Amino acid sequence: MYFYALCLAFLILGGETAKLPDQIAEHSETLLKQAQTGKKIRECTCDEQGECIKEMKKQFEGCFDKCWPIVSKEGFKLVKNPEKTKECFQNKRNFVDDMLDCMQNDLNTCVKEKESKEISYVDIGKFLEKGEKKLQDQADLLFETVGDEGKEVIDIAFKVGHCMRTCFVEKNAGGYCYDKKGCQPLLETEETGSSVKKCLKEVGWKKQAQDVCKCTVKAGVEEADRWCAIIETLASSKNPVPTAD
């Protein structure tokens, strides 16, 4: 769920839409490098990886349900029907599954049997923290470019996202699933970036984001209509929008 939120946010806040997969791939590589601690850890077996992904998905879905009431509390003037708006995101949960399945198949992130091979350790908490900051920096830059109209919609989205990250970290205060198993998936920075780019195209990232945007407008979030228009404009434009370094 949060992975989809990141992809959607990159789409809304990103640079030249025609080159967005390249941009997201570059950001993914950078974030992975920044989250690597220099330590080593065993590469997970596919069974271990599957168990952890299942657990983390469940945690994120629980955090989404826990944090969504923020929309009713702080965004009641903008979101007239919070439950109907919530369905717009829940109905796209297959996007996450398809994206993860594509990347797992493309990257060979796990091994069949336990091996002694060691890979670079990624601090998941640091990855999420830096990812959130990157998106916020990008949002601030975009508002400088296109103005503050509709900013409230994005602000609420960030509050929900921040709540979800905090919730997820708290759920794993005793150690993430991968840490408990003593392994992580193999995510080489350059290969991961290429895989993100490939899989975003395969799952139809542009249509997915446009569908969610239009759905929220129909659900009563009229201010989101401006962002739908921006997405449509960027999708057909070859002019780049400034991006945060």
The pLDDT tens digits of the residues spanning 47-56 come to 999 999 889 8
What pLDDT is stored for residue 234 in this prediction?
61
Q: What is the pTM of this model?
A: 0.81
User: What is the SS3 string spanning 89-141?
Assistant: HHCCHHHHHHHHHHHHHHHCCCECCCCCCEEEEECHHHHHHHHHHHHHHHHHH
| Residue 169 forms part of a structural domain | yes
Q: What are phi and psi of 112, to 5 degrees?
A: -70, -40
| pLDDT of 230 over the 50 cut | yes
Cα-based distances in Å from 90 to 37, 68, 85: 34, 11, 9
Number of domains in the chain: 1
| pLDDT of 121 over the 90 cut | yes
- Residue 124's pLDDT band, with cuts at 50, 70 and 90, is very high
Distance CA 155, CA 159 (A): 6
Residues 209 and 224 sit within 8 Å (Cβ to Cβ): no
| Residue 242 forms part of a structural domain | no
| Residue 244 forms part of a structural domain | no
| Residue 90 forms part of a structural domain | yes
**Could you tell me which of 156, 157, 3, 17 has the C-alpha nearest to residue 94?**
3
Type of residue at 21: P
- Over range 38-55, report the average pLDDT: 94
Percent of the chain with pLDDT over 90: 26
The token pair that represents 104 in the structure block: 């797992």
| Residue 12 forms part of a structural domain | yes
| Residue 245 forms part of a structural domain | no
Average pLDDT of every residue of the chain: 80
Quote the domain boundaries for residue 193.
2-236
| Residue 243 forms part of a structural domain | no
The pLDDT tens digits of the residues spanning 145-157 come to 766 666 777 788 8
The pLDDT tens digits of the residues spanning 162-207 come to 999 999 999 999 999 999 999 999 987 777 778 877 888 888 877 8
The pLDDT tens digits of the residues spanning 127-136 come to 889 888 887 8
- Residue 2's pLDDT band, with cuts at 50, 70 and 90, is very low
- Over range 93-114, report the average pLDDT: 82
The residues pairing with 184 across neighbouring beta strands, listed in sequence order, are 43
